[in-house]
Amino acid sequence: MNSPRRLARSIGLLFLLTILTGIFAQGFVSERLIDFSDAAATANNILTHRGLYQLGFSFYLIEMACQIATAALWYVLLRPVNRSIALTAAFIELAGCVVKIGARVFYLAPLFVLGAGGTSALHGFSAEQLPAIALILLKVNDYGAATALAFFGFSTPLNGYLIFRSKFLPRWLGILSMIAGLGWLTFLYPPLGYHTFPFIALLGLIGAAATIFWLLVFGVDEEKWKTQAAI
């Protein structure tokens, strides 16, 4: 990608795919099938809608692939501002993605516990105990994803700071990113993060939507990017 504007639009597209696949997997699959207050109902939902449940896992993986690619391209776009900070942000975001991908293994594990398509792998447990075990695994998946958000609470403000300091993107985009990113730091203490999640998620979506719109429609000022890259 020799053109900084094309690079910026690629980031916007990948960022959009990250948001959309995450919303589908979480909002239209997990929220529909998983009830953390009812293990039996959750187990029944998973077994009844096995195909949809597995599709949710696929979308979670696509989400992570897009986010990793986005982190790498943000580094390329923002390194003219400060290479060290851009690299630090990229590595922290990558660490969060690794944590989140690891957590998604626990999302898939209930299929084996509940014996979808065959007998359960846990022969020593009763049929009544298996849904409870499956729900525990799903809670581990949920808390793992929350842990990843805490990592993003460090990487997103760093990128926001670089956007603010850049001469090729509007400063207000950097401010939005810093504010939204700091919200994810509430997950350093998960009870606080879960309690404030609706408000934090709204801030994150506003910042993401503004960034995606700007990158896709306007891109970056190429001359200013090249000038800053040459310094």
- Phi first, then psi, for residue 151 (nearest 5°) are -65, -40
20 contact partners, CB below 8 Å, separation of at least 6: none
Distance of CA 216 to the CA centre of its chain: 20
Q: How many CB atoms lie within 10 A of CB 107?
A: 24
The angle, 0 to 180 degrees and rounded to 10, between the axes of the packed helices 4-23 and 222-230 is: 110
Number of helices followed by number of strands (H, E) in the chain:
9, 0
Distance CA 49, CA 137 (A): 18
226 contact partners, CB below 8 Å, separation of at least 6: 4
Task: Yes or no: say if 216 and 12 are a contact pair by the CB < 8 Å rule.
Answer: yes
Distance CA 148, CA 163 (A): 22
The angle, 0 to 180 degrees and rounded to 10, between the axes of the packed helices 4-23 and 50-78 is: 150
55 contact partners, CB below 8 Å, separation of at least 6: 29
Distance CA 142, CA 150 (A): 13
Of 74, 89, 80, residue with least CA distance to 158: 89
Predicted local confidence at residue 116, as pLDDT: 59
Predicted local confidence at residue 114, as pLDDT: 86
For the chain, the average pLDDT equals 92
DSSP state of 30: I
pLDDT at residue 223 tops 70: yes
48-70 pLDDT, tens digit per residue, is: 999 999 999 999 999 999 999 99
110-164 pLDDT, tens digit per residue, is: 998 887 555 555 566 667 788 999 999 999 999 999 999 999 999 999 999 999 9
Written in H, E and C, the secondary structure of 202-226 is: HHHHHHHHHHHHHHHHCCCCHHHHH
153 contact partners, CB below 8 Å, separation of at least 6: 181, 182, 183, 184, 185, 186, 187, 188
Indicate the burial class of 94 (C-beta count within 10 angstroms; 0-12, 13-18, 19 or more): middle
89-108 pLDDT, tens digit per residue, is: 999 999 999 999 999 999 99
* Count of residues in the chain: 231
Predicted local confidence at residue 128, as pLDDT: 76
Across the range 64-91, mean pLDDT stands at 97
DSSP state of 167: S
